[in-house]
Amino acid sequence: MTVTDAGALQGRYARLSDRFKAIWTAHQFVSGAFAQLLFRDLPYELDLGSIYDRIKVAGRLLHGSYPMEASGALDHIAELLDDATARLLEADAELAPSLLRRFFDRLKHHDDSIVTCLIRFYLYADAVEGDRRDKLDLLFTRLGEDFHEERGEFVVRQSLELRERVIELVSLLRVAAAPRDEVVRVIRAIGSLREDIASASAFDELGERNLLRDARTFKHRVGDLYFDPDVLLAIIELNVASKNHCLRLYDGEEERLVSDADKLLAHGSAIARNFGGANPGLADEIARFRLLRDQFDALRAESNVKYDVVTRLKASMNAILAQLDRGLDPEIETAELPASFFDEARVTARFGRSEPLLDYVLRIDNAIESEDPAATAELRLEPWEASSYLKLIERMPADAEEDGEELWLLYLRAAALRMKIDEEATRIASAVAAGVRPEAELLANAKKSLDLAKQLDEQFGDLLQEAAYYTNRRILHQLYRSRFRLLRGFSGLWLIYDTQLDVSSPAG
């Protein structure tokens, strides 16, 4: 065996040993995520111990009297590692980037070796697109940041040391070097993204202007240039600067966030008790909110609130209280409505005379038919709810393979029920404020509305489980928004209705 051949075998052995270490770490991460975050058994079995034993045997062969036998042993080890990688990637596909973030949040100590090994796993596997680009973005940022206690913010680690580590890691991909002018162009674009994010003057502006989403999209579309060391260092600086700015903006939101969270905690048990039986998902969401609130309070006490904790807490609150009725999202344009609609006969033909919400569906029809913007605005319909009505009467074409009559009917019935619930809640509250006992018929109708809201919420839950909808981000947003606006109305009516149970005798 020549010196060159021996060196090549040693190189293969070192690479396979390093790859095994990365796979072992990835297995620990996947195992922990499934057990602690998904509460599920692992979908695969791996005997990493036997692979490790084979690696040790190959090492002895390389340094023994028969080094040529090591070549066959290394070939077999490579096949075993390929199989292990495939199994791990299949399981990893079930773990969203947010789960990776939560996994590291649970670690008591920041361990760079775990971060580095996970990066190596994805790079060795050439799994760098889609959600895995987001995971690598998170991992590289964790590798490149430190929290500066005195300044109360994150800082990028010493540039030279970090650059050496980045160069070592990205070399595993063996991608071709990019032209220098292209690298400079991308770095300038990253600088512009950083300036745009820094220009946000309010926390909600980050979402309204899609600043963070645009930055994520850019990092996906830049392709292999992402792994150019200079580009990657600029991205780490962008991520750290963005995190710090988000935290600064958050400081102005904290008082309102705490106030809203306190209000939800005051009523969460009552809502879950009455609504949780028909909607286990709501009980789970309230439980998740309580955990997030505890985590938020603990980090707040340490003056180290994380942006992702804030966003998850606000998202959980929005999901429960449906704080989506403050107006349409900036990116959603109000649907244009035609000049005329069909008459009452067409409405009843679709919904039937026995439809409990028929009167309110007819109000929607009359408001749209009037062509009076004030009349339609008063109903506070979502654009897709109005367009669903148009699709039901065949005045607007359906979106190909994206929606159908079941979805349109649910949107409209939810909008109609919101109107009914709001009226009943107002009437009951007015009676109570005047010192008058609400009529038994009014309370009975309110009870029917609450029961119907539970039924519609179950339908929302069923649709959210269908692949045709949960894989479509636009429809997923619409389903959640309509669902939680209904939930907001439900919780308000139920809290008013519940106070009357001791003094009234509603039917049902």
Q: How confident is the model at residue 265 (pLDDT cuts 50, 70, 90)?
A: low
Q: How far apart are CA 434 and CA 427, in angstroms?
A: 11
- What's the pLDDT tens digit per position in 96-115? 887 888 788 776 566 789 99
Q: How far apart are CA 364 and CA 7, in angstroms?
A: 78
Q: Record the pTM.
A: 0.55
Mean pLDDT of the chain: 79
The amino acid sitting at 109 is H
pLDDT above 50 (res 331)? no
The reported pLDDT for the residue numbered 338 is: 36
Which has more confidence, 329 or 114?
Answer: 114
Q: How confident is the model at residue 191 (pLDDT cuts 50, 70, 90)?
A: very high
Q: How far apart are CA 170 and CA 227, in angstroms?
A: 6
Per-residue HEC secondary structure of 151-186 comes to: CCEEEECCHHHHHHHHHHHHCCCCCCCCCHHHHHHH
Q: Picking from 206-215, 357-366, 467-476, which range would have the lowest pLDDT averaged per residue?
A: 467-476
Q: What is the mean pLDDT of residues 491-497?
A: 86
- What's the pLDDT tens digit per position in 12-58? 999 999 999 999 999 999 998 888 878 889 999 999 999 999 999 99
Q: How far apart are CA 425 and CA 498, in angstroms?
A: 11
Residue (of 329, 402, 341) closest to 368 by Cα position:
341
The reported pLDDT for the residue numbered 88 is: 96
The amino acid sitting at 429 is A
Q: What is the mean pLDDT of residues 124-142?
A: 94
Tokens of 308: 């992702």
Count of alpha carbons within 13 Å of 464, Cβ hemisphere only?
16
The reported pLDDT for the residue numbered 211 is: 87
The amino acid sitting at 339 is A
Q: What is the mean pLDDT of residues 367-380?
A: 73
